[in-house]
Amino acid sequence: MKDFFVFSGQGAQTVGMGRDFSENSAAARAIFQEADAVLGYSLSDICFNGPAEKLTETRYCQVAIYTMSCAALAAFRERFPEIRPIGCAGLSLGEYAAFYAAGAFSFADGLKLLAKRAELMDAACRAESGGMASVLGGDAVVIREVCEQCGIDVANYNNPGQIVISGEKNKLAEAVAALKERGMRKVIVLNVAGAFHSRLMQSAGDALKPVLADAAIQMPEIPVWQNFSAAPATSVAEIRDNLARQVAGSVRWEECVRAMVAAGGERMIEFGPGNVLTGLMRRTISELPTANINSMETLQAFHN
């Protein structure tokens, strides 16, 4: 079966994540140990023991999800070394785990990049009063129109029935009211630290450019569908540019997964905490087989 690997984004974190991998897989344990050594503090302790408030902070959350996702992949590879994906993708910060899985950089180099990204995004969140809302069952054209009128942005195109909007809190409230007036009843304001993937993150995206320019990145061995372009890059310069632009740009997730299926993908395997991406796939291409590797239990239940 032709598999494609996908990796979790922010919001999937949960206290205790990865502990069973670390206890039962030498390869996964080595990932957590390397993360602690690179970061200079015990990220594994935050993942395994919390507290939840700390794990939810952007600067810890992004590196924690990346590390747990890479540990899940390490445990999987230990058990199924013969499974090679035809493509990879990750939701927002998950794109870094996708590039690691595809061989574009080492685990440590990806972790350092993501730690810097999280720090810059955290600073951008503190500088502005931003928020996000999920629009369920709305028309994409109408949603874009309302966002434009209100001076906010579309953050995520997640699946045919879910689009996330993002921007300054007062303008977001205007957009939520306008969308409800246009007949969209299910508009849910999200509990997030800021306006991710919106113009309010532009300063973070710009500051990330020189960091990416100095990073050791090579062309991946496996194509990675990037959030910003919904396509694999053709050069390292394009990878860097897309990663920088992704911070304030829309995440074109639905297009990414459809493109991987069009490229021959027959099964999606999600690595990392939770099962958000599996749920999104069920509402995008419901008949496509999916699997989650988010615990030793799910790993043991997996069969090729």
301 close to 99: Cβ distance less than 8 angstroms: no
C-alpha pair distances (Å), 268 with each of 4, 44, 110 = 5, 27, 23
196 close to 205: Cβ distance less than 8 angstroms: no
Tokens representing 12 are: 């999937």
Tokens representing 269 are: 């395997």
d(CA 167, CA 175): 10
Q: Which of 8, 197, 198, 250 is catalytic?
A: 197
293 close to 269: Cβ distance less than 8 angstroms: yes
Quickly count: other Cβ atoms within 10 Å of residue 148's Cβ: 12
d(CA 254, CA 156): 9
Distance of CA 233 to the CA centre of its chain: 18
What distance separates the 2 farthest-apart alpha carbons in the chain?
A: 55
Helices (H), 80-130: 94-101, 107-127
Q: Is 189 helix (H, G, I), strand (E, B) or coil?
A: strand
The four Cα atoms 291, 294, 296, 301 give a dihedral, to 10 degrees, of -10
**Has 92 been annotated as catalytic?**
yes
C-alpha pair distances (Å), 250 with each of 3, 80, 199 = 25, 34, 10
Radius of gyration of the chain (CA): 18
189 close to 130: Cβ distance less than 8 angstroms: no
Q: Which of 8, 92, 250, 295 is catalytic?
A: 92
Tokens representing 229 are: 């372009």
Q: Could you list the active site residues?
A: 92, 197
